[in-house]
Amino acid sequence: MKKVLVATAMVLGFFSLNAQQTKEKNSENIQLIPKAGIAVYKQSIEGVNGEKSKVGFQAGLGVNIPTGAANFSIQPELNFISKGTKIKNALVNQNFNFNYIEVPVLAKYSFGPVYVNAGPSVGFLMGKNNAVKAVYGKTKTIDFGLQMGAGVAIPAGPGKLIVDGRYNLGLSNISDAKGAAIKNRGFAVSLGYAISL
């Protein structure tokens, strides 16, 4: 009986060690993270009153790349995101959408399932509709910013369910008009799924 217990303990120990090594190995893999969610944005517009937040859509793909340092990775992304604002005053009551293809590159540090991230981003404007042209006039096509946020990675099936919240601080003045200043500011919340390669 004692031999059986010892053998069972050895087998269980082997499988436990193997599972732990597999888990650690998987955590060091490159991960693809498709994601989608909402973006809540408001522009800071010099000389204009009545800017309010508007809700838009965002979706994209991230690639989480381990650096070799414990718990630290780099995550470049390619996202579609709807920025802009709602202006509500005596003259205007309308949503203005500025749709961007955005490329953030984030440094990511994990504390178990929880992580924080931060880094620069560049956005490329995907054209303007007539309402935007009429109110804003000429605007720049590139928007530089900083992103910072946090999230949680929950094991689910072969991958991890990712819940991510992020603040985007626009640094660029996107207006081409002399003396005008317009900057994008907003929050984005997304749901994604990390797939190890």
* 2 falls within a domain: no
Q: What is the pLDDT of residue 2?
A: 52
* 145 falls within a domain: yes
Per-residue pLDDT averaged across 145-165, rounded?
96
Listed ranges 11-20, 126-135, 154-163; the one with the highest mean pLDDT = 154-163
Largest pairwise CA distance in the chain: 88
* 109 falls within a domain: yes
pLDDT tens-digit series, residues 54-87: 999 999 999 999 999 999 999 999 999 999 998 8
Q: How confident is the model at residue 10 (pLDDT cuts 50, 70, 90)?
A: low
pLDDT tens-digit series, residues 103-133: 999 999 999 999 999 999 999 999 888 878 8
Single-letter residue type at 136: Y
Residue 22 has pLDDT above 50, yes or no: no
Token pair in block for residue 193: 């799924």
- 115 in Cβ contact with 108 (< 8 Å): yes
* 22 falls within a domain: no
Q: How far apart are CA 41 and CA 148, in angstroms?
A: 15
Q: How confident is the model at residue 46 (pLDDT cuts 50, 70, 90)?
A: confident
Strand partners, 152: 114, 163
Q: Give the count of beta carbons closer than 10 Å to the beta carbon of residue 197.
A: 7
Residue 16 has pLDDT above 60, yes or no: no
Select from 186, 189, 188, 190 the least CA-distant residue to 41.
186
- 139 in Cβ contact with 128 (< 8 Å): yes
What's the whole-number average pLDDT of the chain?
Answer: 86
- Beta strands of 18-128 (E only): which ranges? 31-45, 51-52, 54-66, 72-88, 93-111, 114-125
* 9 falls within a domain: no
* 21 falls within a domain: no
Give percent above pLDDT 70 in the chain: 86
CATH code assigned at 55: 2.40.160.20
Q: How far apart are CA 185 and CA 147, in angstroms?
A: 10
Residue 7 has pLDDT above 80, yes or no: no
Q: Is the dihedral of CA 95, 96, 99, 102 positive or negative?
A: negative
Element (H, E) at 164: strand 159-170
Single-letter residue type at 49: N
* 70 falls within a domain: yes
Structural domain of 152: 29-196
* 19 falls within a domain: no
Identify the residue with better confidence: 182 or 137.
182
Q: How far apart are CA 155 and CA 193, in angstroms?
A: 10
Per-residue pLDDT averaged across 89-95, rounded?
79
Residue 40 has pLDDT above 90, yes or no: yes
What are the Cα distances from residue 110, in Å, to 51, 116, 144, 189? Answer: 36, 7, 26, 18
Identify the residue with better confidence: 17 or 163.
163
